[in-house]
Structure 1
């Protein structure tokens, strides 16, 4: 009987609007026998006030990731080569850390990430909503983005520039993962 190796679990981290979901979607098309899990598909119990959480040390373990972990364990037992996580925390959550083999931080400049988020989230919103969100970003929200740059980015295995076309980013990640697995 052939010994089946567990899948390689790749975490795609970055700031909101940094390209995590787009990269994840294309990466699972590129990698053989792969599936993805998306952080935003879950309603986690976490800190009620994100800015307060950041200002008090951003303990990532305060997030109850049980539903994601359960789904990851289910996929882990399937005959997959890869599981790609659209997961902003990289290795910073102790219960997720043990599953992740390779963490990628998509390093997208904050102005581009903000523009992407506004374009994505406010397509049909009135101008007042956009202005309110921009005021919140300036007064508080940017702290969350800076937190990611200060803790998640240096906690990742590889940092990839988030400005090239997605196909280039995915190709670079595929090559790095292939080298890690001894395929290249």
Structure 2
């Protein structure tokens, strides 16, 4: 019996736990490979997220052909049972939407995501640099985080509480995968 590769998109706000969760899932899932949105440079990539949201938040401005190509390559590999997409858009980009079997949104409160981002990305920053970043976030960037909560969260099949410990998030996703994988193997 040929078993279709199951493609799981994991979305969430920046520093919401997507990459950490994907990396942990990869360790636990036999035949899993991952693709990470942040590893690519895409044509049409947005520089000003505030303006992008103000202009209507068109998720198709990103030309995700390179990611699509890698997804197709993995689906042709008989050893790959699962593709884990560290991917912020759920079903909102037309290049990738047809490939996703289900989308999971890690719903991490914005204050926790912000604290994680500062700890991760600004460990060597001065107090003035951190204050400047916080000011920029409040004035321009927060709107993009809210866009994710207003558009991507309800566009996902499952929502996981991002306040939980990593092992509980992974357990819940593994349970979701098991249910969905059983459905895919019966198709």
Asked if 1:35 corresponds to 2:33, the answer is: yes
Once the 2 structures are TM-superposed, how far is the Cα of residue 43 of structure 1 from its aligned partner? 1.3
TM-score, structure 2 length as denominator? 0.94
Once the 2 structures are TM-superposed, how far is the Cα of residue 24 of structure 1 from its aligned partner? 0.4
TM-score, structure 1 length as denominator? 0.95
Matched residue pairs, number?
Answer: 181
Instruction: Report the Cα distance in structure 1 between the residues aligned to 2:84 and 2:21, rounded to whole angstroms.
Output: 10
Deviations 1:100-158 (A, max 9, x none): 00100000000000000010000112222211110000101100000000000000000
2:55 aligns with: 56
2:76 aligns with: 77
Once the 2 structures are TM-superposed, how far is the Cα of residue 6 of structure 1 from its aligned partner? 2.2
Once the 2 structures are TM-superposed, how far is the Cα of residue 67 of structure 1 from its aligned partner? 1.4
SS at 2:63's partner residue?
coil
Moved more, 39-48 or 97-106: 39-48
SS at 1:10's partner residue?
strand
Instruction: Report the Cα distance in structure 2 between the residues aligned to 1:40 and 1:123, rounded to whole angstroms.
Output: 20
Q: Note if contact 2:60-2:94 (Cα within 8 Å) is conserved in structure 1.
A: yes
RMSD between superposed Cα atoms in Å: 1.1
Q: How does 1:27-176 map to 2 (within 5 A)?
A: 27-45=25-43, 46-79=45-78, 80-176=80-176
2:20 aligns with: 22
Moved more, 120-129 or 101-110: 120-129
Instruction: Report the Cα distance in structure 1 between the residues aligned to 2:109 and 2:124, rounded to whole angstroms.
Output: 25
Instruction: Report the Cα distance in structure 1 between the residues aligned to 2:174 and 2:13, rounded to whole angstroms.
Output: 21
Where does structure 2 lack aligned partners over 5 or more consecutive residues? Answer: none
Instruction: Report the Cα distance in structure 2 between the residues aligned to 1:159 and 1:110, rounded to whole angstroms.
Output: 15
